[in-house]
């Protein structure tokens, strides 16, 4: 009886939360296709004419096109680097017994809980000494390093579900350890790879603090920083509808990406926890 009540309350909370998110997104989209006069006079009414020019202004005049391209490069390269580095590390931690393995694993778990703010100052000084301030390469390195603990933790769980007989059979067939890992074992944890790609992709696409701290010139801004700078200019020219259009431009790509692979992430999380 109690479990049924908890289940119903949980479902009700999820529906309410999803409804709230959809309502907020609809309101932002509605604001983005109005004129400033319509928005400020009554923001609940429908626009008399759809002002798609707001998106053109945000995309071109506010340089969001360049920021969008920067974000694509940063997120894409960061995720590729994460997979290349974290996959072998997670494989070793899950399959090979060596002295200090437990300590390294715990260190990665602790690293998940470290907040951005706790490492921002020493990280900034390190970036200055390395000459990586105001560099997309520097931001990519920071994103990869900061995301490694979580990614390795997730992939370690997926590698642990694979039977050792797979590697033994590959060795009998004459496969080298590298061939076994890249051609046999890694494809077997495809749901895990998709899971970390989605979770890291969403997180890095929306990341603001590191990008804002380490990038200080307009041509290097990512979308989150560019939109913030756009917001600051709106305080002077009051073109708020174009700001809302910029918000929609940021949300749509990652929303479509998530919806496209949402079934895979559920499959991946289930596979990683159920075997």
Q: What is the rounded distance in angstroms from the CA atom of residue 214 to the CA atom of residue 174? A: 48
**Residue whose entry in the numeric block shows the structure tokens 């907040």:** 115
pLDDT of residue 262: 64
Sort residue 20 into left (φ over 0), alpha (ψ -120 to 50) or beta: alpha
Q: What is the rounded distance in angstroms from the CA atom of residue 57 to the CA atom of residue 64? A: 9
Buried/exposed 176-213: b ≥16 CB within 10 Å, e otherwise: eeeebbeebbbeebebbbbbbbbbbbbebbebeebbeb
What would the pLDDT profile of 70-81 be if each residue is shown by its tens digit? 999 999 999 999
Buried/exposed 218-237: b ≥16 CB within 10 Å, e otherwise: eebbbbbbbbeebeeebeee
Q: What pLDDT band is residue 11 in, cutting at 50, 70 and 90?
A: confident
Is the pLDDT reported for residue 86 higher than 70?
Answer: yes
Q: What pLDDT band is residue 47 in, cutting at 50, 70 and 90?
A: confident
3-class DSSP state for residue 244?
helix
Is the pLDDT reported for residue 226 higher than 90?
Answer: no
Is the pLDDT reported for residue 263 higher than 70?
Answer: no
Q: Are 185 and 32 in contact (CB under 8 A)?
A: no
pLDDT of residue 264: 62
Q: Which domains does the chain have, with CATH numbers?
A: 58-274 (1.10.3720.10)
Supply the mean pLDDT for the chain. Answer: 85
């Amino acid at each position: 009886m109690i479990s049924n009540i908890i289940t119903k309350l949980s479902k009700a909370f999820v529906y309410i939360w999803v409804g709230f998110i959809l309502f907020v997104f609809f309101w932002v989209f509605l604001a983005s296709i109005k004129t400033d006069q319509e928005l400020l006079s009554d923001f609940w009414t429908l626009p008399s004419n759809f002002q798609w020019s707001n998106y053109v202004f945000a995309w071109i005049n506010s340089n969001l096109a360049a920021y969008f391209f920067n974000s694509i490069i940063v997120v894409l390269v960061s995720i590729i680097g994460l997979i290349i580095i974290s996959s072998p590390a997670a494989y070793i931690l899950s399959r090979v017994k060596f002295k200090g393995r437990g300590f390294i694993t715990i260190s990665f778990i602790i690293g998940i809980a470290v907040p951005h703010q706790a490492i921002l100052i020493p990280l900034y000084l390190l970036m200055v000494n390395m000459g990586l301030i105001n560099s997309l390469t520097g931001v990519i390195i920071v994103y990869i390093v900061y995301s490694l603990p979580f990614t390795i933790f997730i992939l370690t769980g997926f590698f642990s579900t694979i039977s050792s007989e797979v590697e033994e059979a590959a060795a009998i067939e004459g496969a080298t350890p590298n061939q076994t890992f890249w051609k046999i074992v890694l494809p077997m944890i495809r749901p895990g790879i998709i899971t970390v790609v989605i979770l890291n992709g969403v997180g890095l696409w929306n990341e603001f603090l590191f990008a804002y701290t380490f990038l200080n010139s307009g041509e290097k801004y990512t979308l989150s920083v560019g939109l913030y700078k756009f917001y600051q200019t709106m305080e002077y020219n009051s073109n708020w509808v174009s700001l809302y259009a910029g918000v929609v431009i940021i949300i749509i790509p990652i929303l479509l990406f998530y919806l496209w692979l949402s079934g895979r992430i559920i499959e991946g999380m289930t596979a990683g926890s159920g075997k």
